[in-house]
Structure 1
């Protein structure tokens, strides 16, 4: 009996489907208006865009070996239209890595990766395509640190192929509260690959922890890389937008490193970078009495002031700071023309420069992946060309 009932039901379903198919075939086609055609075109274009994004996300998920993938865009193809909402959806203190794939577009919002959102990888479509912007200042945000467009407070953060901007109006000389941070990094083991950071005064707050910046672009005017982290900048472009002044007056500074005691293991190392731009800038100012900054095998344009370094108007700091250069080139380098370095600047030999020259400076072989970073030898890259080409092709 049950078999018979089942057979009858199957037959009825078949008849109904056949009838519906015949009915649909017999309906006259609706006339295509110009509005309908345009709407259909838009839907088709959106479907293609969503399909393209899905393929890209799949590729990135595989490259990053992510266990959870969250997507962000402005076209309705993704899980979220807000980057902050995607960050908030990351599991707390996750042991596995979460990938947040952000499509091309401008995302006007403040973003904070809170300390409980560990193991996040942020992937954009290119540092000229995916941009996070805000316009906070020390005055409008309750302090310099709070002005950041993008703040990283969680360990194990990585970002690829995107830009962060603070679009606040550049402060006039002597203005109080005009500091405007684009990126704040206050967590350990954070890495940034082929990213851009744009601002004026205090662009990049490299606050604390061990950090790696590979192939990044940093733009600013006054102390625009500052903080008390232990960071390696490899192959980065450092661009001054300081105002030009009469008679070559110095109007800006690249770094303001904050090492406060000899017991701290902090400092900034710039290896095979370029310092270019406008105005005249110091390579560094002694924000902390033991400020530590090294430029190695870096091109220094004429934008670098002849003296090179500044003691923050405290002569006592000249005895404790570590401001070093090693095999730098260009018209702004020591011995490269008009450069006449201050007496407390150090021209390093190979032995003195070696601790700053590769990923061991930040213990990077333990965490600055992918891939693991071998020691630098000559001009060999510490990132494999194969991986770099793969990531460039994803943009």
Structure 2
């Protein structure tokens, strides 16, 4: 069986998207009367015949929002399993999706696969998108959790892909196996999220902080024979790009063993900071993949991590040491993605 890496053509997209660095996304306006949102619409798959401001599908609710909107619009989603592909187009920013009963009760699922640009259950293209309390699932590979994997070919199957700048996800879930979460470009913040997969399941060239997130390695569930996968595949292309993945606190656990990351770009950058590692972390920790000989250009680091998987004795020799406070402080949430305080202006508070 061949475990496929993310498709090569994606590199062209990433080069175009990230060449200009962090985008200059607008700030969304609050509603009238001091409200953080201009108005609210509702999605309830069991509501019967929809009416004004009430929809049976999430995509229909998004379609109702006018393009080039510059005020926060809240989409309240009632509990249920929504079997649909959902896409927020680039001209519809300032959207706040909220599953009102949390991610365990509100999920969006689909079984697209093969192409990374077509398979995602959820696609968010614009700047200024906030999501809270929703699970995004690609069920394609997950159907094979039966212990009989000999004749099964794992395929790329994305749960979500995130393009826009200033995108934040709170208490969300991302379920898949290969390429679960495509963190494409822009500044992104993931707080208290659950992310699972086995191969390259957090990948792309975003500039992102994952804070207090639970990372579930499932390589051992589908491949009990001892295959090793990869948690991250970060695609930073040059030393001038501000991109990278920073994991603060949280936990890495699961079944089997995964590398913490492999290089999806010649300047790949991933930092785990005070994270708990269960025994699922491969002893070598990191993989140069197609960039052997350029290891000195990577920024792969583990700072203050603990747990049985945090022993660095057998780690690759080229893993970076960030021992000084100034070295790690530049990867704090405020310094790395929140330079203009956009997180404080989100409509959650």
What TM-score bracket applies, with the shorter chain setting the length? 0.7 to 0.9
| Mapped contact 1:72–1:82 kept (Cα < 8 A) | yes
- Equivalence for 1:345: 319
Which residue among 43, 60, 67 is the counterpart of 2:38?
67
Pair 1:150-2:122 in alignment: yes
Greater relative contact order (Cα < 8 A, sep 6+): 2
Aligned to 1:300: 277
Match of 1:126 in 2: 102
Q: Which has the larger radius of gyration?
A: 1
Residue matched to 2:47: 76
Deviations 1:248-286 (A, max 9, x none): x55211100001111211000000121111111000000
If each structure's strand is expressed as a fraction of its own residues, which one has the higher value? 2
Task: Give the conservation status (yes or no) of the 8 Å contact 1:250–1:305.
Answer: no
Q: Given the alignment of the two structures, is residue 223 of structure 1 paired with residue 200 of structure 2, yes or no?
A: yes
Change beyond 3 A, Cα 1:361–1:175: farther
CA distance in 1: counterparts of 2:157 and 2:33, whole angstroms: 36
1:217-238 Cα deviation digits (max 9, x unpaired): 0000000000001000000001
Show the counterpart of 2:139: 167
**Cα pair distance change 1:182/1:63, threshold 3 Å:** farther
Checking the alignment, whether the CA contact within 8 Å between 2:191 and 2:210 is kept in structure 1 is: yes
Q: List structure 1 segments (4+ residues) > 6 angstroms apart after TM superposition.
A: 61-64, 171-177, 244-247
Matched, 1:92 2:67: yes
Residue 361 of structure 1 is matched in structure 2 by 336
Kindly indicate whether residue 237 of structure 2 is the aligned counterpart of residue 266 of structure 1.
Answer: no
| CA distance in structure 2 between the aligned counterparts of 1:361 and 1:250, rounded to whole angstroms | 34
Mapping of residues 381-392 of structure 1, within 5 Å? none
Gaps in structure 1 of 5+ consecutive residues: 1-60, 373-382, 388-395
| Residues 89 and 371 (structure 1), Cα distance of their counterparts in 2 relative to 1, 3 Å cut | closer
Determine the C-alpha separation between the residues in 2 that align with 1:269 and 1:180.
Answer: 24
**Is residue 286–residue 317 contact of structure 1 (8 Å, CA) maintained in 2?**
no
Looking at structure 2, the residues matched to 72 and 358 of structure 1 have their Cα atoms a distance apart, in angstroms, of 32
What secondary structure does 2:220 align onto? coil
Q: Does the Cα contact within 8 Å between 2:224 and 2:256 map onto a contact in 1? A: no
- Output the CA distance in 1 between the equivalents of 2:245 and 2:233: 10
1:167-198: CA deviations, max 9, x gaps? 00258799878100001001111000000000
> Counterpart of 2:292?
315
For 1:62 and 1:267, locate their aligned partners in 2 and report how far apart those are by CA, in whole Å: 39
Distance apart, 1:74 and its partner CA: 1.7
Could you tell me which runs of 5 or more consecutive residues in structure 2 were left unpaired when the two chains were aligned.
1-31
Secondary structure of the corresponding residue to residue 112 of structure 1: strand
Q: Which whole-Å CA distance do the structure 2 matches of 1:64 and 1:203 have between them?
A: 35
Cα pair distance change 1:175/1:256, threshold 3 Å: farther
Q: Distance in 2 between matches of 1:173 and 1:366?
A: 50
Which shifted more, 167-176 or 203-212? 167-176
Is 2:143 the counterpart of 1:136?
A: no
Measured after TM superposition, the shift of residue 121 of structure 1 is 0.2
Higher helix share: 1
